[in-house]
Amino acid sequence: MKFIYYILRYLQTIMSNTKPSIPKGMRDFTSEVMFRRNYIFETVKSAFECYGYAPIETPAMENIKTLTGKYGDEGDRLIFKVLNSGDYLYKANLDENTDSKSLTKQIVEKALRFDLTVPFARFVVQNRNDITFPFKRYQMQNVWRADRPQKGRYREFYQCDADVIGTESLLCEVELVQLYDDVFTKLNIPNVDICINNRKVLSGMVELMGATDLFDQIVITLDKLDKIGIDKVKEEIESKGVKKEALSILDTFLNTKNVGDLFSLLENSSIGKKGLKELQFVIDNVTELGLQSANLVFDITLARGLNYYTGCILEVKANDVQIGSIGGGGRYDDLTSNFGLKDVSGVGVSFGIDRIYLVMEELALFPNNIDVSTKVIFANFGDDEAAFCLPLLKQLRSAGISSELYPTNAKMKKQMTYANNKGVQFVIMVGEDEMKSGILSIKNMESGEQSNLNITDLIKQLS
């Protein structure tokens, strides 16, 4: 019995000494970080609503059948699967032929959403009788990917999406380019390139390479160009069965910088020519309207590895910070057909909030004082003084001035340290004299200056 007692005490000691932690690729956010993130969220949300997009939300978990088969094999491997509730092995069929893939099908029915676009397509089909087409929606929620964590790449992160579904009009692509430009201008992010290409152009290129049946694999490989370089891309494409002589066609396309130069190359490809016309329309209209700060750049190497894209594709890069794309999107012609609603075209873009945050942090672009939660704090000198301050506090808050009362009658040094650490701008001191006269003693924490005002004049000054 003593042996068991000591074992239990040992285990208890180990457990009590376990350091708190979170899974890799997940993060806590301090108040300072959240104020800055909220600044980005509010800027993006304001732009979405200005352009006529309405908010929706979808659940964190979807049926696994909703998600799989929409992102390609590589994407499917990164989906976080959720075990069935309860004794999930009870109904499983286990024998000598059972492997991880067949077992997963038996014990997993749900998964965390991989992106916001596929759940949006499911939402549209389920609610098609209650929404008006074309339907413009925005969505700002977490997504999860079982990816290898690294700078700017997390297993849980936020996406902010804007989509238009129910129209094939290329004016939507023009609008989304302007939306990107508008947001990055408001955030003061300099040297931004909005890269554009078209999947139909890539289809025409692959067609000329004689490898139409390998389109998905070639596009996924081409999407790695920035990471592994052109030589490795060619090597990988050749290993998938593309003939060596076809790689010279790939070279010709990759060396083309202007859309106009591709018309002669794609003269014999009807799908390629269609893609070029779409590209030219978007580029011409954006050029005519003009952008405030971003540049629209044609990039033949842009592929976007997700299977559901069919037309124009976009990707945004902040050239002053090496972090990868900070946004992306494109046209998907028939994503809703996966859920039984055919011939409904859509197009959308996504803002990578986490990477945008890192860009703004590295370039010191956040405005001053956005992380100040309290503008005014009343010092606490005792019960009577605190009771006197409560109605004054209510008046300040009613005027939209963030205010608080220090909760206890602590030493003044402690109260002032609290105010200083929190970045409070003004400390109001109310003692016996102030209670009698109604004139408050106000200390400006930045300048150190002290002034005396009644509550009405104080509100006017702070407002």
pLDDT given for residue 370 in this prediction = 84
* Amino acid occupying residue 393: L
Answer yes or no: is pLDDT of 265 > 60.
Answer: yes
Q: Band the pLDDT of 8: cuts 50, 70, 90.
A: low
* Ranges of each domain in the chain: 31-79+114-362, 376-462
136 and 7 Cβ atoms separated by less than 8 Å? no
Whole-structure pTM value: 0.85
Contacts of 351 (CB under 8 A, 6+ apart): 44, 159, 160, 161, 183, 326, 327
Instruction: Enter the CATH code of domain 376-462.
Output: 3.40.50.800
Neighbours of 13 (CB within 10 A): 10
Query: What is the enclosing helix (H) or strand (E) of 452?
Result: strand 450-453
Q: What are phi and psi of 263, to 5 degrees?
A: -60, -40
What are 209-247's pLDDT values in tens digits?
A: 988 888 888 888 888 888 888 888 888 888 888 888 888
Contacts of 332 (CB under 8 A, 6+ apart): 117, 121, 308, 309, 310, 311, 345, 346, 347, 348
261 and 150 Cβ atoms separated by less than 8 Å? no
* Burial of 205 per CB tally in 10 Å (0-12, 13-18, 19+): buried
User: What angle, 0 to 180 degrees and rounded to 10, lies between the N-to-C axes of helices 31-50 and 353-362?
Assistant: 120
- What CATH superfamily is the domain 31-79+114-362? Bira Bifunctional Protein; Domain 2 (3.30.930.10)
Q: What percent of the chain has pLDDT over 90?
A: 67
What are 72-131's pLDDT values in tens digits?
A: 787 889 999 999 888 877 777 777 777 777 788 888 899 999 999 999 999 999 999 999
The helices-and-strands tally (H runs, E runs) of the chain is: 18, 16
